[in-house]
């Protein structure tokens, strides 16, 4: 009986493990690209592949007022941490949350001010997923009437 209770306790502890997701500061890279775009009339490639501190294959953009159900819809292995510790900060309309994902696991996260680059404008009618290919080769920003706009090609 004691072994069964210990086994059930161990299983419940493993099931509750949500794992902490480390923060990654992408803002210096974005700020330098925004500065280039503000000083030019041309499109500036974001080149997010320059992020080589860790391996990732897609970025999921979580917009303000997202719900736990929205997070769960991506079927990520460690989304519980986001649900419990990060969604409350998204009740501000000023930031979006970028989740860097490798396969089905969130590797890093970063808050991005929407006034800097509005990642929520990508794929407006579908899931907010940016593949590594898109992030590396086809994601641009441009100064449009003193506002930075995000484009994909």
Asked if residue 15 has pLDDT above 50, the reply is no
pLDDT of 17: 45
Distances (CA, A) of 72 to 80, 105, 112, 123, 136: 8, 12, 21, 19, 26
Phi, psi of 7 (to 5 degrees): -65, -45
Asked if residue 14 has pLDDT above 50, the reply is no
pLDDT of 125: 53
Residue 129: partners with Cβ closer than 8 Å, 6 or more residues away: 58, 59, 60, 61, 74, 123
The number of domains in the chain is 1
Residue numbers of the domain that contains 136:
2-152
CA distance 86 to 78: 13
Neighbours of 147 (CB within 10 A): 10
- Above pLDDT 90, what percent of the chain? 39
pTM of the full structure: 0.82
Report pLDDT digits (tens) over 60-88. Answer: 999 888 888 888 999 999 988 888 888 77
Return mean pLDDT, the chain: 82
Asked if residue 9 has pLDDT above 80, the reply is no
* 82 contacts 22 by C-beta, under 8 angstroms: no
* 62 contacts 96 by C-beta, under 8 angstroms: yes
Q: 145: pLDDT confidence band, cut at 50, 70 and 90? A: confident
Q: 10: pLDDT confidence band, cut at 50, 70 and 90? A: very low
Asked if residue 8 has pLDDT above 50, the reply is no
Report pLDDT digits (tens) over 108-128. Answer: 999 999 999 999 887 655 568
pLDDT of 45: 93
């Amino acid at each position: 009986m004691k072994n069964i209770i210990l086994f059930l306790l161990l299983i419940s502890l493993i099931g509750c493990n949500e794992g902490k997701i480390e923060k990654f500061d992408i803002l210096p890279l974005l700020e330098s690209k925004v500065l280039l775009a503000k000083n030019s009339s041309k499109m500036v490639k974001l080149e997010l592949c320059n992020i080589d501190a860790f391996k990732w294959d897609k970025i999921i953009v979580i917009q303000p007022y997202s719900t736990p159900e929205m997070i769960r819809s991506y079927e990520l292995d460690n989304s519980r941490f986001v649900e419990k510790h990060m969604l409350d900060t998204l009740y501000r309309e000023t930031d979006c949350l970028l989740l860097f994902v490798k396969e089905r696991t969130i590797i890093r996260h970063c808050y991005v001010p929407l006034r800097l680059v509005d990642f929520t404008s990508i794929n407006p009618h579908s899931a907010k997923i940016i593949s590594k290919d898109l992030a590396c080769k086809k994601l641009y920003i441009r100064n449009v009437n003193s506002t930075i706009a995000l484009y994909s090609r």
